[in-house]
Amino acid sequence: MINRRIFPILITVVVSLLVAFQANALSGGTWQSGIKVQNLDPANPASIMINLYTLSGNLQHTINTTSGGSPLTAQPNKSVEVYLPNYSSVGSGQYGAVVSSDRSIGSVVTTTNYPYGIADSYNSMEPNTNVFVPYVYHNHNSYSTEIFVQNTTSSTVTGNVIFTEPSTAVSYGDSGVHTKTVPLNIPPNGIQSLDTSTSAYDDLGWFIGSATIQATGNVAVVANQTRLVGAGDVPGNVLISARGLSTSDAGTKLLLPSLYKNFSGASGTWRSGVTIVNTSGSNANITVEFKSDPDMASFTGTKTLSLASGASTELYLPSVALDGGAGIPDMFKGYAVITSNVAVVATVQHTNYAGGGGYGVAVGYAGFASGSQKISLPSLYHWPSGAGVWVSGIKVQNYGESPTTFSVTYSPDPDSISSVSGSKTNVTLNANQAIEFYFGNPVLDGNGVIPSGWKGSALINGTSGAQLVATVIHTNYGRHVATMYTGVPIP
């Protein structure tokens, strides 16, 4: 069996510091990408191959060895990192990637632009002919959106991208259009970019909305929300990368494991926004229940709302009025459960504009419509980098309606300085409950820690019938960046 993971985004690689790719209105900067691939087979090594395609769909590079020339192999349940700038054969440019293996794999891409103080991670997605992007911006607080649509078929794909601004958006009253349709025409394996920072989208005016991609063949989608306050690594620049959502992400129950309201942590203050899109053909009656983490002061609050077919709405936690009129308390760190009479999708965005000494960071993730007994976390760090340290935090939530127990097993990468491995066992969660494992604190049995100089992966294994979901946030406040991705369910 061949397991293929599609990465639709421009994997932008600049291998020479003298060359900078200009994108998203940046006047410079150096974009670099790394792909973490985890072998999900517990008994056999995985042989890995990565094909890099140009925007026009031409196969440009095939990677099947490490940068040192050894076969590109991940040992059972362990991961390997392919940092593209380390490959002299890969020229500077923009690529889409297809990662394949003779074993089941989990994959995550991280893209950085340290000269601008921006970075994020994203997961692959299952290609679909209908894909949703819940967050789209134009002229909003220095944010713009760039959507990348990759044709995953061997034939030309056509279709449309439909931008929609809901009447509930604070931007709706300006003079810009509220809907806009942009045609797609993508060659086999090619990528089409739609960038709202360009003049072609000026008719949107001040725009806070969403987009729907309708294609004649299967496509994969990633959207970059880029906030550019100025050139270089200046306070306020942030990047949020998120994969597109398809019908497999829609459900009448969604979990959001990671949420904040004015939560001051290791650096700055975290705030969350949740956008919900009604992907069905009927009106949606929705209930969102917010709950605090077990290590925080107990809190439960509920918000009910209605959404017309195709409509979207954002719940920005600092300004949400719960049923009864109360708000979510400050220093809230927790999770949420969304229930609806029809299928909906949801995306979360976290911002921390004071993080990293006031330079700011931002991340995001997609809500979960189902859980899994086993989950792959291909990319984890307690790793010095530049002026800072990458530190990971994991959130695990129980999708099931009854208590469940799970373990987390950590494995170092082959090039990790620290060889520490270990587990956190017998963790129990009640129905819908979430818990955090932050690498700045003990995360192993016996209060063991993941030391600095460690990078690797983890497997989450629940008891029989468990339905679990997970997110990972990496922060590097010294380099003014953070990234986030969702755990990969293991079939």
Query: pLDDT 10s digit of each residue in the chain, 491 long?
Result: 344 444 443 333 322 222 222 333 444 678 888 999 989 899 999 999 998 988 899 999 999 999 999 999 999 989 999 999 999 988 888 888 888 889 888 888 898 999 999 999 988 788 899 999 999 999 999 999 999 999 989 999 999 999 999 998 899 999 999 999 999 999 999 999 999 999 999 999 999 999 999 999 999 999 999 999 999 999 999 999 999 999 889 999 999 999 999 999 889 999 999 999 999 999 999 999 999 999 999 999 999 999 999 899 999 999 999 999 999 999 999 999 999 999 999 999 999 999 999 999 999 999 999 999 999 999 999 999 988 999 999 999 999 999 999 999 999 999 999 999 999 999 999 999 999 999 999 999 999 999 999 999 999 999 999 999 999 999 999 999 999 999 999 87
> What pLDDT was estimated at residue 15?
25
Check: CB of residue 325 under 8 Å from CB of residue 261: no
Q: Is the pTM of this model over 0.95?
A: no
> What pLDDT was estimated at residue 92?
84
> What pLDDT was estimated at residue 429?
97
The CATH architecture that domain 251-366 belongs to is Sandwich (2.60)
Interacting residues of 454 by C-beta distance below 8 A, sequence separation 6+: 381, 382, 383, 412, 416, 417, 418, 420
**Backbone φ, ψ for residue 355 (5° rounding):** -65, 155
The kind and range of the H/E element at 357 are: helix 355-358
Check: CB of residue 288 under 8 Å from CB of residue 302: yes
User: What is the per-residue burial (b if ≥16 Cβ within 10 Å, else e) of 242-275?
Assistant: bbbbbbebbbebbbbbbbbbebebebbbbbbbbb
CATH topology of domain 128-247: Hypothetical Protein Tm1070; Chain: A (2.60.290)
Query: What homologous superfamily does CATH list for 3-123?
Result: TM1070-like (2.60.290.11)
> What pLDDT was estimated at residue 10?
38
CATH code for the structural domain at 374-490? 2.60.290.11
> What pLDDT was estimated at residue 2?
40
Name the residue ranges covered by the structural domains of the chain. 3-123, 128-247, 251-366, 374-490
> What pLDDT was estimated at residue 12?
32
Amino acid making up residue 64 = N
> What pLDDT was estimated at residue 5?
47
